[in-house]
A and B are shown apart, each in its own frame.
Chain A
Amino acid sequence: MTTPATPRGGTVFDIGYQRYTGPREGRRRGRLAVFKDGVRTALGLGRGGRAKVLPWFFIVVLSAIALIMALIAGAAERFAGPGASERLNLPSHADFYAIASMIVFVFAAVVAPELLCRDRREGVINLYLVRPLTGSDYIVARWGAFLTVMLAATWLPQIILLIGLAMGDASPVGYLRDNWLDIPRFLAAGLAMAAYITTLAMLTASFTTRRAYASVFLVGLFVISTPFTLGLAQEIGGAAGRWLSMFNLTNIPVHVNDLIFGQVSEITEDAPARELPAAVRVAWYFAWTIIPGGVLWVRFRRLTP
């Protein structure tokens, strides 16, 4: 015996407009919302497939480089005996940022403009600025968002490399015990690289509403400055050559990386700037990070719709 199905139904009540009496968390919540939106935009999270392709392609490539480095070191340890990777001078944590720097630069050139150009081109920034948020809040939140993405892009491969090298060693715990200093070193070097690239990329993006223009300019700046300054610096030689070599924008954070790890990487060993004192190279790095950062802040500080 079957029971007749009772019709399922419900009633929709229109309770009208409800006033909001809950908490208002002010500028802190606003800054956090712009920060979160910046991270999501940079990584294409919550967007269509096309928005994800470029950022994740670069992150996968950077991780793949680290994985390959770890596999080669592991294979050397296995087939040539313990300590083979050091004897063969195989690239490790100290060399990663030098090897991957151009990819990191292109990644920033392609992704960073998306965080600033679109808001200004579509006028969304006008809505941010009429909320409890200042121009400074906006740019600091956006800068912080892209710095976070850059840290993920620079630290993740180093972590993969660390795990790979430890697992490839006969004694993973022993490897970590002997090389634990590499961890704060690559974290510090990654932070230096991420802050420098983030600032330059965001500053460039602040001058145009077209993402493509900013990307092409940045790629051109990083790619052209390397052969131009290197060739000319070696040709001129002397102190002038050393200072000219400092204008190789790709090398500026790599010099800091070299100082942190206490060794010279492959791409800076031929750079005349290497002969300048460490303090000069560090000061040069800070000048190229803080001054563009200040210009970026001034551009947005008094921005009004």
Chain B
Amino acid sequence: MTPGESLLTAEHLGKRYGDVVALNDVSFGITEGITGILGENGAGKSTAIKIFLGLLQPTSGSATILGQNASQSVGVRARLGYMPEHDCLPSHVSAAEFLTHMAEVTGLPPSTARTRAADTLRHTGLFEERYRAIGGYSTGMKQRVKLGQALVHDPAMVFLDEPTAGLDPIGREEMLALVRKTYREFGISVLLSSHLMADVERTCDRIIVLQAGRLVQSGTVGHFTKETETVFIEVDDNRAGLVAALERRGVAVTVDGSGLTIEGPDESVYDLVRDALVEAQAPLRRMAPRRRALTELFHRPGDDAPAGGAAP
């Protein structure tokens, strides 16, 4: 697999369950890195993942993973990892034994499986607890075991389904850090499925947004947030005068709480703001660029449908 080459490709992918359309003519490609697949419950995220894992046959189109047809090769799963959202851990065995077993099930020889299980538990922060029965673990530790079993056989790509589900804020931060580490330090590409946009925004390089089985957005996270770059200004006095001065210069300005928000396509807006501040003699308290969060991008008040351009 060369850099830039697609690890995973969907071409006009469709899946129906009777009358229910789970995926409808979805096409995208995923290269190395961390990709988020966003969507509400029932958007088709899990169906897409199951098709790529070869567990479901698509009704139409094709799914290719690591250069092979996903629905025709069981063997390709030896190079894939999957962390399910729901409970999937045995309560009566230790994390070390479980990961060793899962590495063997994926095809690693027993002695290698033991070594890799210990290494993986060290990387996921469970080395000290590895001989305790999983049933006694906290939710955060169980999530780490789930991630560990997906990584123990050193896959080329790992699918993470809602990895932060059920975690407290600290546990969530730690899990997201582990997800970032999975690609940036381990070199394992990630497809992260989530309905939490904040998780995707902070972790992923690219996003794919599904809604009701259709692809509605795809691209880099930076691309979406850059498009919506704004400048936030707070002044101590004469806010109305500043608004008028800005509008005379053709700058779109909206009152945002105690300050003003200016839509700025590029850095020339800062010169216009400086001139307007001088003209209005408004004492500046704070001025800072602000990038919209993905949550704002997809859920603008009053919008039923997500904002943004159509999928490429």
Contact = CB atoms under 8 A, between A and B. Distances in A.
Nearest to A50: B92
B109 A25 contact: yes
A26 B75 contact: yes
B280 interface: no
A261 B58 CA distance: 55
Contacts of A16: 185
Nearest to B133: A48
A19 B187 contact: yes
Interface stretch (B23-31, B81-89, B215-223): B81-89
Interface string B113-129: 00010010001000000
Interface string B30-62: 000000000000000000001001011000000
Contact of A132 (B74, B93, B154): B74
Contacts of B82: 127, 130
A123 B112 contact: no
A29 B108 contact: yes
Contact of B90 (A17, A26, A122, A134): A122
B101 interface: yes
A130 B86 CA distance: 14
A218 to B, nearest CB: 22
Interface stretch (A2-10, A30-38, A97-105, A177-185): A30-38
Interface string A27-59: 101101110010000000011100100000000
B84 A305 contact: yes
B86 A30 contact: no
B153 interface: yes
Interface residues of B, number: 39
Interface residues of A, number: 37
A304 B71 CA distance: 13
Contacts of B102: 127, 131
A124 interface: yes
Contacts of B50: 304-305
A18 interface: yes
A32 B108 CA distance: 11
Contacts of B91: 122
Interface of A: 16-20, 22-27, 29-30, 32-34, 37, 46-48, 51, 118-119, 122-124, 126-134, 304-305
- Nearest 4 Cβ contacts at the A-B interface: A33-B104, A20-B154, A123-B88, A130-B82
22 contacts: A17-B119, A17-B187, A18-B119, A19-B154, A20-B116, A24-B78, A26-B107, A30-B104, A30-B105, A37-B101, A46-B97, A122-B90, A123-B86, A124-B89, A126-B84, A128-B105, A130-B77, A130-B84, A131-B105, A132-B74, A133-B74, A304-B50
